[in-house]
Amino acid sequence: MLPQTPEEIEQIKKWDKTLIWHPFTQMKEYEQEDAPVIAAGEGCYLIDIQGRRYLDGVSSLWANLHGHRVPALDEAIREQLKYIAHSTLLGIGNVPSVRLAARLIEMAPPGLTRVFYSDNGSTGVEIALKIAFQYWQNLGKNTKKRFLSFYNAYHGDTLGAVGAGGIDLFHRIYGPLVVPSLKVPSAYCYRCPYGQDPRSCSQDCFSAVERIIKEKHEELAAVIIEPLVQAAAGMILWPRGFLSHLENLCRRYSVLLIADEVATGFGRTGKMFACQHEEVTPDLMVLAKGITGGYLPLAATLVKEEIYQAFYADYKENKTFYHGHTYTGNPLACAVALANLQLLEENRVLEKLGPKMELLSYLLQEIQKEEHVGEVRQAGFMVGIELVKDKDTKEPYPWEQRLGHKVILKAREKGVIIRPLGDVVVLMPPLVITEQELIFLCQAVKESIQEVTSRWS
């Protein structure tokens, strides 16, 4: 039941601040803010306990695809509840997880044949890393124990994923706790780590990754990459061809390729999976977030057959993958994931995305003209708007000014919920957002940027 009286509403708001430790949030700051407490959803809107409506501009953390309270998805959960909410996959099966695995394999890049479930993107990554590591051990290639990843990478918050992460603000403090990966600069073209101009560059990022793989391949178990977009770093786009270049290098030097499609999967970039833009089949592919349409926690790590076969042996050979979570393959989550995939297909959601992506590009061009917008980056429905103090010199704002945060608070006043990554304002609306809603979203963001930057520059 929703809180009804002003007293109940106040109580909930107070407990939200005093009992809950919010993720990625400085609570001292949160206490001072009048953050909405969401009570309901409708289509692309979130509704707080005071009845205020907000456009869900980041798909409830990059997960929602079809909006909120979608009858077919609600019904899939109710239907599954008639049978069972949860049973384990450790040593026994359950119906929805089997059906979903068949569907995922059908949709995935060809060659991925087996599905290992978990609950969220981080655990999906953790599983990919552990499988890649053990794969080489099982084959008796004991030198291949390290991972290669990229600066600016984000693969989740569990310790294995943090070891592969490359965002100082999030990851540096845990350095002593993790096994660090080898790291190579990513292609942040706006601030090229090689000091090049993207219009005339000699693609040093391509040669840098080639050099390190050539030199270290005997130590390397796998390379992990967010295909097409380094999302949490601020929607940094890889240059075209980088992913297939990496795939070629991995093949040439016998290094596994892990594609972390947690953020990019299920249509976010305009294709079902980002790897499909360059016809790449990774050895392992991690899916989460949009897999359930943003309804329930679920992740899947897909692997190629030859990887699976390296674990397939008599028990006494000790090649079993000893990993699993209590809710691995949860039937309710798998049931809603299946309904989500069916809806993507039946409603031709990706086909309808084309004109909306074009409209979004057009609206973003207007935002790009703003005095303090350094760069706007877009891959389909994933957008990063980088704010700078000085557009000519690309000088950032002092980080403690928290311009990105100020912009999202302003946008909230205008009825839009978004979340920044530092001074990059992120937009990632549900795929079913209407053209009118997209216009409203971009207008609110543009005005918020104008109002905040004119005050703080």
Ligand X SMILES: Cc1ncc(COP(=O)(O)O)c(C=O)c1O
User: Least distance from C-beta 228 to ligand X, angstroms?
Assistant: 11
| Residue of minimal Cβ distance to ligand X | 121
Contact 167, 153 (CB under 8 A): yes
Closer residue to ligand X (CB): 63 or 441? 63
Tell me which residues in 205-264 interact with ligand X (CB under 6 A).
226, 231-232, 260, 262-263
Q: How far apart are CA 19 and CA 305, in angstroms?
A: 47
User: Least distance from C-beta 51 to ligand X, angstroms?
Assistant: 29
Answer positive or negative: Cα dihedral of 413, 416, 417, 419: negative
Candidates 68, 144, 155, 389; binder of ligand X (CB under 6 A) is 155
Q: Is 273 in the site for ligand X (CB under 6 A)?
A: no
Q: Phi/psi at 237 (nearest 5 deg)?
A: -95, 135
Give 2: exposed, middle or buried? Use CB within 10 Å, 0-12, 13-18, 19+: exposed
Q: Is 156 in the site for ligand X (CB under 6 A)?
A: yes
Closer residue to ligand X (CB): 49 or 379? 379
Closer residue to ligand X (CB): 174 or 253? 174
Q: Is 154 in the site for ligand X (CB under 6 A)?
A: yes
Closer residue to ligand X (CB): 121 or 374? 121
For the chain, helix (H) and strand (E) counts, in that order, are 15, 17
- Tell me if residue 181 falls in helix, strand or coil: coil
Q: Is 298 in the site for ligand X (CB under 6 A)?
A: no
User: Least distance from C-beta 269 to ligand X, angstroms?
Assistant: 12
Closer residue to ligand X (CB): 125 or 189? 125
Q: How far is CA 342 from CA 79, 157, 269, 346, 396, in A?
A: 15, 31, 19, 6, 44
Tell me which residues in 120-139 interact with ligand X (CB under 6 A).
120-122, 125
Contact 205, 242 (CB under 8 A): yes
Q: Which residues face 56 on adjacent strands?
A: 417
User: Least distance from C-beta 291 to ligand X, angstroms?
Assistant: 10
Neighbouring CB atoms inside 10 A of 155's CB total 31
How many residues of this chain interact with ligand X, rule: CB under 6 A? 14
Q: Write down the residue that tokens 């016998």 correspond to.
A: 254
User: Least distance from C-beta 294 to ligand X, angstroms?
Assistant: 11
Q: Is 410 in the site for ligand X (CB under 6 A)?
A: no
Residues that bind ligand X (CB under 6 A): 120-122, 125, 154-156, 226, 231-232, 260, 262-263, 288
